[in-house]
Amino acid sequence: MAEKDSPILVWFRLDLRLDDNPALCRAVESGKPVVPVFIWSPEDDGNWPPGGASRWWLHHSLASLAGSLPQRGSRLIFRVGSAAGILDDLVRETGASAVYWNRRYEPDLVNRDARIKKMLRGQNVEVMSHNGNLLFEPHATRNKAGGPFKVFSPFWKHCSQREVGDPFTIGDRRIPSPAKWPGSVRLEDLSLLPTVDWAAEFPAWWTPGESEARRRLDDFLSGPVGDYSEERNYPARDGVSRLSPHLHFGEIGPRRLFAGAQGKLKRARSGSGRAGISKFLAEVGWREFAHHLLYHYPDTSENPLRPEFSRFPWRRDRASLTAWRKGETGYPIVDAGMRQLWRTGWMHNRVRMIAGSFLVKDLLLPWREGARWFWDTLVDADLASNTLGWQWVAGCGADAAPYFRVFNPVLQGKKFDVDGDYIRQWIPELKELPGKWIHCPWDAPKDVLDAAGILPGKTYPTPIIDHHEARLRALRAFETIKKL
């Protein structure tokens, strides 16, 4: 095969889009035939293969991408197996002279990709990797001492002074096709969808795919973003973007998102909506910070960044863990969040913090148990963000909340779900309870409970632990590692 006719393999990973996709853009610009490939290789992810909710989203996102490529004269090739072996096979089958991809930053995949680069270059195959998933790459972001950042504020201040490149685009161009396409399995052969359809309600809440990601961004920037700094704390309100799964799967690129928000910021009047947009950009910054930390501290998905927490006296209590997972702790704001998670694959961020604090501080159960459950049930499960979030709430990570900060689930509910609308949505057995009692139904008089049709311990559980006692126990446990 002549060099000019040898195709480029574009290996899609967590970049399931055509817009702002530097690997695809560079391949198309070359003028050579392009073979888009997706390889299902969960064994390459080490201890963190995609969980059930992520697999559901991935299936539908891939279906969307596969449906959009024929409009550009192309198609998506599916393969199953070790990425190294599959790419080796495809290079031989197609005579490809190059393989392009967008970089990932999870520790196991950084190491895998380095091995694949070495293998392919040893075969005289050109390999080009690109930054398609972050604004600022972790290896290129250092503090004044030349090391990684451990505190968000100086990290984001440093990043905010740097230029963000423009989104990549192929416009309306067709994607050059090879003379002969390699074989492909069907999307269904990846077996991503659950065999028992616990995800039956997901389609009512989510539409995976690039076009929906762009629509959701446009709707958010034209509406709620101006009030985001305040409204983002109230789970019953439509005050957040819900872009996290689209961003995780790369259905929208961070440069496109950043460019849209920055454009909105420039058009906003001083003091009118600017705080909301700036806060939204800072939340994008937290995602960047999470990847920065995991890249520089690759064992933190399993171990606390603060080494003294390796000696923390966590409890083992399967019954309490099960009650937390099912949303049966007896604390309405916690239970509402856990039930929202199970039914929709997502939980409001404020409630994630409350539910997380309850697990690690009230119940004194290991943060890893929470991380594993979220990993399996969140459609936006991201190893870097999941690790940062759980180590933050447990007090054992970078820039973490002090361990002695223990969220009071009743006060948090009263503050951020004032009328109990969020609780009533996800715990219908409490829907008739007056707002005065909905955050602490155990304190309600019997006649109020009777009128609401509530039988404590039967129609809704009584608290599995007393929060005041649990807080004191957590503080005593923390004192033990301070003395060691």
Domains located in the chain, CATH noted: 3-133 (3.40.50.620), 135-165+209-296 (1.25.40.80), 307-483 (1.10.579.10)
Among 414, 392, 418, 412, smallest CA distance to 403 is for: 392
C-alpha closest to that of 358 among 383, 386, 382, 330: 330
Catalytic residue among 283, 328, 429, 432: 283
For residue 210, indicate whether it is catalytic: no
3-state secondary structure the chain: CCHHHCCEEEEECCCCCCCCCHHHHHHHHCCCCEEEEEEECHHHHCCCCCCHHHHHHHHHHHHHHHHHHHHHCCCCEEEECCHHHHHHHHHHHHCCCEEEEECCCCHHHHHHHHHHHHHHHHCCCEEEEECCCCCCCHHHCCCCCCCCCCCHHHHHHHHHCCCCCCCCCCCCCCCCCCCCCCCCCCHHHHCCCCCCCCCCCHHHHCCCCHHHHHHHHHHHHCCHHHHHHHHCCCCCCCCCCCCHHHHHCCCCCHHHHHHHHHHHHHHCCCCCCHHHHHHHHHHHHHHHHHHHHHHHCCCCCCCCCCHHHHHCCCCCCHHHHHHHHHCCCCCHHHHHHHHHHHHHCCCCHHHHHHHHHHHHHHCCCCHHHHHHHHHHHCCCCCHHHHHHHHHHHHCCCCCCCCCCCCCCHHHHHHHHCCCCHHHHHHCHHHCCCCCCCCCCHHHCCHHHHHHHCCCECCCECCCCCCHHHHHHHHHHHHHHHHHC
CA separation for the pair 189, 85 (Å, rounded) = 18
Q: For residue 192, with 0-12 CB atoms within 10 Å meaning exposed, 13-18 middle and 19 or more buried, which class applies?
A: buried
State the Cα–Cα distance between residues 126 and 462, nearest whole angstrom: 63
Burial classification of residue 26, based on how many CB atoms lie within 10 Å of its CB (0-12 exposed, 13-18 middle, 19 or more buried): middle
Q: Which residue out of 181, 198, 303, 314 is catalytically annotated?
A: 314
Q: Which two tokens stand for residue 89?
A: 């096979």
Give backbone dihedrals phi and psi of 206, rounded to 5 degrees, phi first: -135, 145
pLDDT of residue 124: 97
Determine whether 367 is an active site residue.
yes
Tell me whether residue 162 is exposed, middle or buried, using C-beta atoms within 10 angstroms of its C-beta: 0 to 12, 13 to 18, 19 or more.
Answer: exposed
349 catalytically annotated: yes
Q: What is the pLDDT of residue 267?
A: 83
- Name the catalytic one among 198, 286, 303, 432: 286
Q: Which tokens belong to 116?
A: 């694949």
Find tokens 């960044």 and name the residue: 305
Catalytic residue among 349, 408, 429, 432: 349
pTM of the model: 0.96
- In this structure, what token pair is assigned to residue 6? 């040898």
pLDDT at 197: 82
| pLDDT for the residue 196 | 85
Known catalytic residue: 206? Answer: no
The pLDDT score that the predictor gives to residue 402 is 76
* Residues 363/336, Cβ–Cβ less than 8 Å: no
How confident is the prediction along the chain (484 residues), in pLDDT tens digits per residue?
A: 556 689 999 999 999 999 999 999 999 999 999 999 999 999 999 999 999 999 999 999 999 999 999 999 999 999 999 999 999 999 999 999 999 999 999 999 999 999 999 999 999 999 999 999 999 999 999 999 999 999 999 999 999 999 998 999 999 999 999 999 999 999 999 999 998 889 999 999 999 999 999 999 999 999 999 999 999 999 999 999 999 999 999 999 999 999 999 998 888 766 668 899 999 999 999 999 999 999 999 999 999 999 999 999 999 999 999 999 999 999 999 999 999 999 999 999 999 999 999 999 999 999 999 999 999 999 999 999 999 999 999 999 987 767 778 999 999 999 999 999 999 999 999 999 999 999 999 999 999 999 999 999 999 999 999 999 999 999 999 999 876 5
**Which residues are bridge partners to 37 per DSSP?**
11, 77
**How big is the CA angle at 75 (ends 70 and 77), to the nearest 5 degrees?**
160
Residue 390 falls in the annotated catalytic set: yes
Q: Which residue among the candidates 11, 57, 367, 375 is catalytic per the annotation?
A: 367
In total, the chain counts a number of residues equal to 484
Neighbours of 80 (CB within 10 A): 14
Choosing from 390, 392, 426, 437, the catalytic residue is 390
CB atoms within 10 A of CB 195: 6
